[in-house]
Amino acid sequence: MHWLELGLIFLATVAGMELFAYVMHRWVMHGPGWFLHASHHRPRTGMFEWNDLYGAIFAVPSIALIWLGVQGGWGPQVTAIGAGIAGYGAIYFGFHDWIVHRRLPHRIVPRSAYFKRIVQAHRLHHAVESKHGTVSFGFLWAPPVEVLKAQLRASADAQLRPPARQD
């Protein structure tokens, strides 16, 4: 298979993972999987949180597909899909955990309109104290911030956190 076709499979998988992540975040993590994800909506007390187990769970298909593609004879297309899943995981870690939640120190300041919108959307997602009434479940795409604010105002379920004190 030509490297360009494999690259397109990789990119399509990364894009498809955003849809998968939205569905998992909206209906699993904020549903029956809340017992793990709730730790992500509370102040972190150490380096890790229970929600980090989702990263390990979602890495299993990626590792399996890469191994099956390379060692199992399933072919380079399967390897490209596994690599696309891993690529999305790397983007998620770099953007969500490192930059947005500052789990590693950095001096990155969002300057582009896209970057600012994603960070603001994620902060609005965390403005709700429970698993109900939250907005913006994607990680690499979010509706305009004004739309999300209107959704929060209109939600009967959204229990907003009090504003942080600025002493």
List the domain boundaries for the chain: 3-154
Residue appearing with tokens 């998968």 = 20
Q: What is the pLDDT of residues 106-161, one digit of tens each?
A: 999 989 999 999 999 999 998 887 888 889 998 888 999 999 989 888 876 666 66
**DSSP run (H or E) holding 37:** helix 34-37
Residue appearing with tokens 């902060």 = 123
Q: What is the pLDDT of residues 31-53, one digit of tens each?
A: 999 999 999 988 888 899 999 99
pLDDT band of 56, cuts 50, 70, 90 = very high
Q: What is the pLDDT of residues 78-117, one digit of tens each?
A: 999 999 999 999 999 998 898 888 889 999 998 999 999 9
Average pLDDT (54-75) is 97
What is d(CA 20, CA 62) in angstroms, rounded to the nearest whole number? 14
- Computed over every residue of the chain, the mean pLDDT equals 90
pLDDT of residue 159: 64
